[in-house]
Amino acid sequence: MAKRLTKKEKGFVKDFLETGNATQAALKNYDTKDYSTAGVIGHENLNKPKIQLAVSEAFPDTELYQLHREGLYDEDLGIRHKYLETAYKLKGSYAAEKHVNLNVSAEVDDRLDGLIEQIEHGLDNPEGTT
């Protein structure tokens, strides 16, 4: 049995379908005026299977809609993804990580030491007195 959407989630879906902007939809339907918080709420909502289904119902030709309707999409998809990622890492299927080493010349190193000393001296005597 599919879970029902809350009043806020229904409003979110409606506004998201109208604007295509999850942050704006969250600002309008949730108790926040903070743009960053609304962005997080919008992102989290779009990852909820019941909201994905509601959005996909507006576009019945999409693959996501078909997966939901055929019962092939479920909430533990994230767990499966993490399992596959770990399996690929163990088998060495990912490209090797690249590391970069930077060599700093002695002249630059001396300049940095001097700057650090000036900063430390300035912190010890903030008014410039000795």
Task: Confirm whether 87 is domain-assigned.
Answer: yes
Whether 63 is covered by a domain: the verdict is: yes
Per-residue pLDDT of the chain (130 residues; tens, 9 = 90+): 357 899 999 999 999 888 888 899 999 999 999 999 999 999 999 888 888 888 878 776 666 666 666 665 555 556 656 656 666 667 666 556 666 666 767 777 788 888 888 887 776 665 555 5
Q: How far apart are CA 99 and CA 106, in angstroms?
A: 22
**126 DSSP assignment:** T
Entry pTM: 0.49
Give yes or no for a contact between 41 and 30, defined as CB atoms under 8 angstroms apart.
Answer: yes
25: in domain:
yes
- Domain membership flag for residue 15: yes
Q: What is the pLDDT of residue 4?
A: 87
Flag whether 118 is in a domain. no
Q: Tell me how far apart the 2 most distant CA atoms of the chain are, in Å.
A: 78
pLDDT of residue 23: 92
* Residue 110 within any structural domain of the chain: no
Q: Is residue 105 part of a domain?
A: no
